[in-house]
Amino acid sequence: MNSGYQDTSYNSYAGGGAAGGGFIPDGGSQTSPSGGKSYAQDSLRPVTIKQLHDAQQTPEETVTIDGAPITQLTLVGQIRNISSQTTNITYKLDDGTGSIEVKLWVDSDNMDTESSKSKLVENSYCRVWGKLKIFNNKKHVGAHIIRPVDDMDEVSYHLLDATATHLYFTRGPPGEGAAAKDGSASNGQEQYNSGAYGKADLSGYSPTARKVYKYLSEGEQSNEGLHQQAIAAQLGIEVADVARAGDELLSGGLIYTTIDDETWAVLEAD
């Protein structure tokens, strides 16, 4: 598959040209010997619109997401409305987590503007590179570049990349925190192998369903539960396999859907 976005996306975000958008704040020489601003603060971060609305601004006017400074960002969304002015075009984007206005200033010297603009129509998808702007407590994105999305796989890829980066900042690098906090990891593994987990009997379920149930039971989440794509990204399992595991658990009455059919939470037993 050649979707055309790998070379122009955010591979430099991880430092050293690693594939994907995972952020590695401790890798390389990102902090200057003089204690100056690290390169991480000028790195490009994949985000969702909900993350932008949840972003915080420090007294020094630094914008942070998950406690980490962010300047450059990229997001993917569906165009819901377009408002053209003499000096700028405002696009209202929706990515399923929320909506936000994206403003692109018209550059008469940019030869790509008209060719891209013809494809940027309502209900189409696009990728944005830019910065989060906050004025009078209202947020919008000041875009450097907006281009149409030609391959819908890019939409899924971006969501997974944003999720993986969020998990990095909130839970640490992959592999950390795998042991149980109370030191009972070995006992938990024995329970898992025997088909029992907590009050649930998982003996009749597939190994993938057991992994999904365990992660739903232990993983950090909001009251809305966890989306199947976030589960797949964290466990390193194909989304289709996670969906099948979810169907097993839903049929068995061990989990339930929350805000949509792909977001689940554990049904607590009495």
199 is a domain residue: yes
Residue 142, domain member (yes or no): yes
Selection from 63, 42, 46, 43 nearest residue 54 by Cα: 63
Structural domain that includes position 165: 11-170
Residue 74 is predicted with a pLDDT of 95
Tell me if 2 is assigned to some domain: no
Cβ atoms within 10 Å, residue 164: 18
Residue 3 lies in a domain: no
The first and second tokens of residue 115, run together, are 């060719």
CATH at residue 46: 2.40.50.140
Long-range contacts of 12-21 (CB under 8 A, 24+ apart): 12/43, 12/44, 13/43, 13/44, 13/45, 13/46, 13/165, 15/39, 15/43, 20/161, 20/164, 21/45, 21/46, 21/161, 21/162, 21/164, 21/165
Domain end residue (candidates: 121, 144, 170) = 170
Residue 187: CATH number of its domain: 1.10.10.10
Does residue 240 share a domain with residue 145? no
Tokens of 69: 């400074």
Contact 19, 11 (CB under 8 A): yes
pLDDT at 123: 93
pLDDT tens-digit profile of 118-155?
789 999 999 999 999 998 889 999 999 999 999 999 99
| 146: helix, strand or coil | strand
Residue 175 lies in a domain: no
- Nearest 5°: the CA angle 134, 97, 24 is 70
Domains of the chain: total: 2
Residues 219, 127, single domain; the answer is no
Cα 257 to Cα 48, 96, 125: the distances in Å are: 21, 17, 27
Residue 14 confidence (pLDDT): 37
Per-residue pLDDT tens for 233-268? 888 888 889 999 989 888 888 888 888 888 888 877
User: Are 37 and 161 found together in one domain?
Assistant: yes
- The predicted structure's pLDDT at residue 145: 92
Inside any domain, residue 4: no
- Looking at 170, 202, 229, the residue that finishes a domain is 170
DSSP for 18-75? -SS----TTSSS-S-TT----GGGGSEEE--HHHHHH-EE-TT--EEETTEE--EEEE
Judgement on whether residues 31 and 116 belong to the same structural domain of the protein = yes
Instruction: Encode pLDDT of 174-226 as tens digits.
Output: 765 544 444 444 444 444 444 555 557 787 888 899 899 988 888 777 777 88
pTM assigned to the model:
0.53
DSSP H or E run through 196: strand 196-197
